[in-house]
Chain A
Amino acid sequence: MRIELFRSYQKVNYYTLVIEENNPDGVSETEDFFGRFEHRKEYNTSLNNLVDWIEEIGDNRGANSDFFRPEDKARALPPPSRYLRTRSAGKLRLYCILINEQIVILANGDEKTANAVKDCPDLLPKFRFANSIARQLEIEELKIQGKKILNLKDIFLQY
């Protein structure tokens, strides 16, 4: 598995994860998430908010930890919001790992179908995966310069 740059903005670089096994096209975990929900109209508002939020944080705000939902060692998007929760499509979760205010690693996610993530069969594996990556990155030494991770090729992560 490798980390690669997903999108670069003024204040934040978003990285993503690519599982190389059985993935000949090299589709990243984050692109997989957006691809699965892109054409489902009931999720349009939720997806728009998510993408707009990622861009706004990236371009203008920086990745302040207040703006991310805590999920054990990992984080999730969108941030906690009663506004989104009252809409049926506001139950998407995109997990991520917050490195600092300039670097976020976006992982994968799914729909939250129950109150507790342990009761969401599709979301639970994504939650566990993001937390596994977060724990591994606690041990790995990331060489950071500004919003860049310099030693991407030296980082070995297990899926």
Chain B
Amino acid sequence: MATSSFDRISNRSPKHSKIFVSKSLDIAERLNELLVLKGMTQNELAKKLNKRPSEISKWLSGLHNFTLRSIAKIEAALDEPIIQVVSNPLIKKEEVSINLTVFAVIKEQDVEKLGSSKKIVWKAPGLTMGGVFLDELNINSINEDVNTKQYSFEDAEYIELDC
């Protein structure tokens, strides 16, 4: 059981209060970092934002409740991000290198277009491999048997040829 006033206040302080303090200090530290990075003084930033220097000083001290619009204006003035939104953790964006052989159905009339370039940009909406969505497959070379009819993935769709 907390025996001191300080500890009792700490225990009853709601989680969102702790998060608020942490985030506003994150922003204050990031602002300080950007000013150093840009070689900009507080006064220069104040001038750029049409604010009083004392207001910038308050931002840098932490515990300031920024509006999203204010953050946007500061990011624009400094041309650097201050906050970034966490992406949906259910969808992990990973760069994966996959070697695969794609069999494509090419319309006869398009075969002629291939010419000597033999470069195909293949867009395959809805195509998945191992549960991971594949937005686009860049195929730099094609099987020499391009003139041979082959079978495609059901969901893949031939979109364009870049010749």
Residues on A lying within 8 angstroms of B by beta carbon are 6-7, 30-31, 34-35, 38, 45, 47-49, 51-53, 55-57, 60-61, 66-69, 78-84
Contact = CB atoms under 8 A, between A and B. Distances in A.
Interface residues of B, number: 28
Contact of A31 (B6, B60, B62): B6
8 shortest interchain CB distances as A-B pairs: A79-B61, A83-B65, A34-B5, A48-B13, A52-B21, A35-B5, A81-B63, A38-B5
A15 B1 CA distance: 22
B58 A82 contact: yes
Chain A facing B: main interface SS: helix
Nearest to B61: A79
Nearest to B15: A52
B22 A56 contact: yes
B113 to A, nearest CB: 61
6 contacts: A38-B8, A52-B13, A66-B60, A69-B61, A83-B63, A84-B63
Nearest to A33: B5
B27 to A, nearest CB: 12
B98 interface: no
